[in-house]
Structure 1
Amino acid sequence: MLSGRTGGVLLVRRFCRDDWDWVQEWFRDPVLDQELGPLDDEWLEHVLTDPGSAELVVIRESEPVALVGCVWGPIEHTVSDIAVPRSLRRSGVGSLALRAVLTWRGHPPVSRWVAYVHPSNPAAFGFFTEQGWEHFGIDDGMHTFRLVLT
């Protein structure tokens, strides 16, 4: 649970099959579809059954405000995706959702997180930079960001 400047308390829970309809609606947005999509039944089954990862729903006042993918590793976890609806972009909810996800008690414990950003996604590059994640250059064609938790 996390309270933030955009109002309301944020709750984090695992994605479930009942979320599929609103997620598909969000991804009708060309920006989300281009950067993170397309989503299909294979994606749905993967996020519902993969024991090494979690797709997390961040909720404020009973409404989803972010979808954040996490892959769990033995040394560091990876943020695999962050999606917010078009109506909430640049409102600060993405920052709050990321903090809520990083502090969610359902993760296996680690002290480090990593994120990979495609070079054609300057918005994501700026987002992780603004969040204080350290840029480590390009690895396998992707910008690498790391955050060490204290």
Structure 2
Amino acid sequence: MEIRRIRATDWDWIQQWFQDEDLNRELGPLDQEWLDHVLNQSDGVQLVAEQNGQPIGLIGCAWGDGRNLPHAITDIAVAPPLRGNGQAGAMLEAVLAWPGHPPCRKWVAFVFPENQRACRFFTRLGWEHVDFADGMNEFEYKFVRSEPDRS
């Protein structure tokens, strides 16, 4: 699996994916304003997961400060035909290992309580449910990424 930053040329297939009712209800709707934001954001990144050169998912990340404020997973979208076969877990693992994110001590994800599928997903992957605030479940994954040896 390859992880890369989103590109403007991805917009056509992203729009096709979000014609899926479930995906659009949970994470949409997406528009040109969203695309412009993710193409130019400096406080995070929207990543594309590819397998054999084909997009299989999107994962959004917001950067913390590396010390007190954790990085956050803002969204996970799997290609509609591939949902339910473990791709999201593999994508999340690849994103956590992606060398392009700043070092951090932990990651968080916020999940609406009615999204039980996402709550089970994070629990199954070892993320700890740490809080319920502002109407959302907070999951935490402690992760220390070592710095490359620069000697």
Same fold (TM over 0.5): yes
| Local SS of the residue matching 1:105 | coil
Q: Distance in 1 between matches of 2:17 and 2:112?
A: 21
Give yes or no for the alignment of 1:39 onto 2:33: no
1:88-144 deviation line (CA, Å, top 9, x unaligned): 111111100000001100001002000000112111111111111000131111100
1:37-63 deviation line (CA, Å, top 9, x unaligned): 000011011101110010000110001
Match of 1:128 among 122, 127, 134: 122
Task: Look up the equivalent residue of 2:138 and give its one-letter code.
Answer: T
How many residues are treated as equivalent by the alignment?
141
Give yes or no for the alignment of 1:89 onto 2:83: yes
Map of 2:101 onto structure 1: 107
Unaligned 5+ segments in structure 1 are 1-9
Aligned-residue identity in percent: 47
| Local SS of the residue matching 1:65 | strand
Give yes or no for the alignment of 1:13 onto 2:13: no
Map of 1:139 onto structure 2: 133
| Local SS of the residue matching 1:132 | coil
Once superposed, what is the RMSD of the aligned Cα atoms?
A: 0.8
Map of 1:55 onto structure 2: 46
Task: Look up the equivalent residue of 2:46 and give its one-letter code.
Answer: E
1:8-41 deviation line (CA, Å, top 9, x unaligned): xx01000010000001111111111001000001
Q: Distance in 2 between matches of 1:80 and 1:149?
A: 17
Unaligned 5+ segments in structure 2 are 145-151
Match of 1:23 among 5, 14, 21: 14
Q: Distance in 2 between matches of 1:42 and 1:81?
A: 17
Runs of 4+ in structure 1 over 2 Å off: none
Q: Distance in 2 between matches of 1:103 and 1:140?
A: 29
- Please, what TM-score do these two structures have when normalized by structure 2? 0.91
Q: CA deviation at 1:149?
A: 1.3
Give yes or no for the alignment of 1:118 onto 2:104: no
- Please, what TM-score do these two structures have when normalized by structure 1? 0.91
